[in-house]
Amino acid sequence: MLRLYCYNFRMPPKHPLAIPRKPQGIVTRGKTARNRLRQVDNFLLLYEPSLIARRDSSLFVDLGYGAEAFTTLETAMRFRKLNPDLKILGVEIEPERVAAGLPFADERTFFRLGGFNLPIEPGETVRAIRTFNVLRQYNEAEVLPAWEQMAHYVQPGGLMIEGTSNPTGAIWAANLLRRVETGWHKEALVFFTNFHQGFDPLEFQTILPKNYIHRVTPGEKIFDFFSAWKAAAAETSPLQTWGLRQWFAGTAEALSRRGYTINLRRKWLSKGWLIWENPETEPHPGLVKV
């Protein structure tokens, strides 16, 4: 009788996060460096301080922090100047790397084994995800499914910054994705340089996020964008007399005249950030505004 009863009785589903799941993804090289993501942290602090400062209990997730937990711990230190209670979760798919982080865990800093299906616990929510130098080691076809998977955990209005840098973080490029009702909106493609290597738009081509790096070919928007940026650099090259930062800002203005939506605020350009807004919805990228 009891068996029959159990069989027919529809058990309420368990909380999906309570089910132990195999981390989604693959173990990749764990190379990282101290302060590598400093300018990614600074970017977020300047771009949307309220996202970090908000005093709810939602997590900031650093997915794929690498062989050592430097970047997660440094982010915790920087963001907690604004929000001392901010909870930070470092996620790694490789158990020894989780073990390397655990001695630094405390009541606000967590290190857990997991993958794109984030290891968050019932009741936890996520305000933002940073995942840097992770998807570059995957195939291009794996990028969208990974993004979609991560979208499940992020609060409406939350952000994901997913990008690639050189080994020191002196130059990087990142997708900035906003969680909207239907999934992610590609809010911007962000480029950063500290100018230590000079300035050449070509340099960014080598550190593009995975969804773009193989697409700098004729017929692709990203190809047109780099052609326009290189032309803009040639056209504004006399500005080099005033320094690399002036030249960089000049190229941003020239891109804008060509119809690209570039954030022209000095606070970005003077510090080496070029923010191309709505990169997927540019209506007439070749257009030169008069």
Ligand X SMILES: C[S@@+](CC[C@H](N)C(=O)[O-])C[C@H]1O[C@@H](n2cnc3c(N)ncnc32)[C@H](O)[C@@H]1O
User: Contact residues for ligand X (CB under 6 A)?
Assistant: 24-32, 36-37, 63-66, 71, 91-94, 97, 115-116, 132-134
- Of 2 and 141, which CB lies nearer to ligand X in the complex structure? 141
Interior/surface letters 56-68, b for 16+ CB within 10 angstroms, e for the rest: eebbbbbbbbbeb
Q: How far is the CB of 200 from ligand X (least distance, A)?
A: 23
- Of 142 and 253, which CB lies nearer to ligand X in the complex structure? 142
Q: In this chain, which residue has its C-beta nearest to ligand X?
A: 25
Cα angle for residues 265, 267, 271 (degrees, 5° grid): 120
Q: Which of 9, 7, 79 is nearest to 37 (CA)?
A: 79
Q: How far is the CB of 102 from ligand X (least distance, A)?
A: 15
Q: How far is the CB of 24 from ligand X (least distance, A)?
A: 6
- Of 111 and 225, which CB lies nearer to ligand X in the complex structure? 111
> How many whole angstroms from its chain centre is CA 110?
20
- Of 97 and 179, which CB lies nearer to ligand X in the complex structure? 97
DSSP 211-246: HHHT--STTSHHHHHHHHHHHHHHHTGGGGGG-HHH
Alpha helices in 159-220 (DSSP H): 201-205, 210-213
- Of 26 and 287, which CB lies nearer to ligand X in the complex structure? 26
Q: How far is the CB of 189 from ligand X (least distance, A)?
A: 18
